[in-house]
Structure 1
Amino acid sequence: MQSHYTVNDTVRLAKKANHISNGVEHAASIDNYLDAHRTDTETVAIGKLAIAACILEAEFESSLAYSGKGAGFHGRRHSGVDIEPHNTWIGLLTKALSAGRDFDTFCEAISSIDFVCFNYDRCIERYLFGAASLIYPVEAFDVEKLSDALNIIHPYGSLGDLNPIDGEHGTFGRHKDRQFLISASRNIRTFTEGMESDVRVKISRAFTNAENAVFLGYGFISVNDEFLFDEGPFEIPSLLGTTYGVSEERSEFIAGKLKSTCMMRQTPHQGKIQRGSPQLRAEGCADLIHRFSHKFEGIGGA
């Protein structure tokens, strides 16, 4: 986009922004809307700015927002949500991974997990940085060590790194910083633009080496499935997933897709054959983590 605009430019861009506002409600998603306008670089740029602005404001208003006392969380009272951060799926996972572990072995457990997050926000990073700083002694906690151990793959980009500033406050929820907003919007990729080639390699490596795969709140949208399973089929012994709000018919379709793409086994003479079945539950992400907490407590060999 241009660096300087006339009055006519401003009017033209305002009309495009208004068109986005009126049209996006009728599209399957903002990504689908921008896909339909992919040849219009201004509309795509405006759309990305809107995405970044909405997510940054949502981060600021969320229960994960900074409490004003270091890395702590505002919690439910600030955001109006019905659940505290420590009772969300990432909170329950953190409890399972930190139980009986000091900070170093907690980082080792974290390093054995590959997170593939299709969202642009930084909620996973924010919670793990904040929670670990509250769980472990100040002298043991090292944000750089945890950051190095944490592997989050954002296929379509994110709003940017969340490395805390001065050991405390990072860019989570920085919705009033115009320069950061512009920078954050440029980190976003729509599914039209696809993934960087190295992201595909990272995802393929994660699935190839996985002993367990867990799908939390994942919609199993075809365009995303193609990215995830493109290098398959994979040999994953255990697979869990949530299908909350999904019809029985679509759940059966998803189970079949996962069997053929993720749960195959190489045999000496017959090639690959299907092995096992995914355990899909029509429940929320936190409920799934709670149900199978015994699986997560063993991550990292503890």
Structure 2
Amino acid sequence: MLRTRTTLVVGAGASMELQFPSNAELLARIIQGYDFKRAGSETSTRDGQLLLRNIYKLAERSNKPVEEVAAAAERLRNACRLGRSIDSVLEQYDHDPLVLACGKLAIAFFMGQAESRSSLKDVPRVPGELPLQGKVAEHWIYQLGQLITSGVPRSRIGQTLEQITIVNFNYDRSVEHFLPYALVMAYGIELKEAQDVIADKLDVIHPHGMIGRLPWQKGEAPQAEWGAEQPWNLHAIAAQLKSLAERSADRNAVRDLRLAVASAKRLVFLGFGFQPQNVDLLFENSLSHNPEVLVSTYGMSPGNAATIALMLRRLAGLENADQLMISPHKAWEVLRDYSLLLES
């Protein structure tokens, strides 16, 4: 049971547990997919062929010559060779709307594909079970489901969900898709009821947007079923994604992000890369309420992990050393190993 106001900040490192691509893998797929010099040759890939068709459609929607859009895709491709993440590459090209459009198209294309191939499936194999494949406990969303439901009566699940905010820098809908099934398993309720509870009570913020609204979610954003590799409205989904500059310009969105951090008594960072631009979205000034901070630094170098520790002591205004807990383990292991803390 979560008893303390908690904000989870989730990055690509956490989604990798579900077989989603890392930042480097996504860049590599974009580099290969936008290699239109292979078009029509024996080395042409299925992804390249599909992306080329979508470039033609993007040119039509943008009222631009297809050669101009293809040249923008090539500029994006070149920048990806030097980039650390697709988000940072789009930030570099905030002056070029066509490159931004090509980048968002690639994100929607490859992340939809990744959903369809992930270990989180559209439905469970057996009704009442979870739609996870493999060792289910070795997924951070499984550990989150345990934290949310453990020892919580059905009558109080809404109150527990209101104690948590999830700031998800990933584009997929894993949290939203999975948690209703966790409630079905925990309480034996119907899936529709579980989806309604999640929709009404759980606050999930996607700073860069997500690849479509699940059919049961509220709002007016374009819909896409979970795992739809090629949704019919792919271009509408891509258009509503946000670069860092676009998100930073939305004052209401930035205010909500910073409020989620400033109002939390406990901050948990899972697979978050701490790119300076993303950190700036979360913190305006140093916090004054001295929250507890738990960080997973799995896969980071010792130097970067030490830098993150210094950064968070300053940004969170931590007065005591024991309020910052740094773990070199994976996201799911951190939630498991610190479950007593998180439920306190």
Fold-level similarity (TM above 0.5): yes
Aligned partner of 2:115 in structure 1 is 59
Match of 1:108 among 155, 159, 175: 159
After TM superposition, give the deviation of residue 282 of structure 1 in Å: 0.8
Aligned partner of 2:247 in structure 1 is 194
Aligned partner of 2:320 in structure 1 is 275
Q: Do the aligned partners of 2:75 and 2:99 also contact (CA within 8 Å) in 1?
A: no
Q: Does 1:252 align with 2:306?
A: yes
3-state SS of 2:158 partner: helix
After TM superposition, give the deviation of residue 34 of structure 1 in Å: 2.5
Structure 2: distance between partners of 1:61 and 1:93:
22
Q: TM-score, normalised by structure 2?
A: 0.72
After TM superposition, give the deviation of residue 275 of structure 1 in Å: 3.3
Aligned partner of 1:46 in structure 2 is 102
Distance 1:128 1:139, change over 3 A: closer
Aligned partner of 2:333 in structure 1 is 287
- Please list every run of 5 or more consecutive structure 1 residues that lacks an aligned counterpart in the other structure: 77-82, 265-273
Aligned partner of 2:181 in structure 1 is 130
Distance 1:236 1:59, change over 3 A: farther
- Please list every run of 5 or more consecutive structure 2 residues that lacks an aligned counterpart in the other structure: 1-57, 218-222
Q: Deviations over 1:234-285 (max 9, x none)?
A: 4233111111122223222211211111134xxxxxxxxx334411011111
Q: Does 1:30 align with 2:86?
A: yes
Structure 2: distance between partners of 1:294 and 1:227:
30
After TM superposition, give the deviation of residue 60 of structure 1 in Å: 1.0
Q: Do the aligned partners of 2:268 and 2:293 also contact (CA within 8 Å) in 1?
A: yes
3-state SS of 1:35 partner: helix
After TM superposition, give the deviation of residue 88 of structure 1 in Å: 0.9
Distance 1:190 1:4, change over 3 A: closer
3-state SS of 2:244 partner: coil
Q: How many residue pairs end up in the alignment?
A: 278
My pick for the range that moved more, 210-219 or 247-256, is: 247-256
After TM superposition, give the deviation of residue 159 of structure 1 in Å: 2.0
Letter in 1 for 2:132: G
Give RMSD over aligned pairs.
2.7
Q: TM-score, normalised by structure 1?
A: 0.81
The 4+ residue runs of structure 1 with deviation greater than 4 A are 1-6, 68-74
Distance 1:139 1:174, change over 3 A: closer
Letter in 2 for 1:154: H
Q: Does 1:173 align with 2:227?
A: yes
Structure 2: distance between partners of 1:247 and 1:192:
28
Structure 1: distance between partners of 2:302 and 2:154:
42
Q: Do the aligned partners of 1:63 and 1:73 also contact (CA within 8 Å) in 2?
A: no
Distance 1:177 1:249, change over 3 A: closer
Structure 1: distance between partners of 2:119 and 2:155:
27
Aligned partner of 2:297 in structure 1 is 243
Structure 2: distance between partners of 1:253 and 1:190:
25
Higher relative contact order at CA 8 Å, sep ≥6: structure 1 or structure 2? 2
Q: Deviations over 1:124-182 (max 9, x none)?
A: 111112222233223594422221111011122222332438xxx96222222231x11
Q: Deviations over 1:69-98 (max 9, x none)?
A: 67965533xxxxxx4444311211211221
Q: Do the aligned partners of 1:67 and 1:74 also contact (CA within 8 Å) in 2?
A: yes
After TM superposition, give the deviation of residue 288 of structure 1 in Å: 0.7
Distance 1:110 1:245, change over 3 A: same
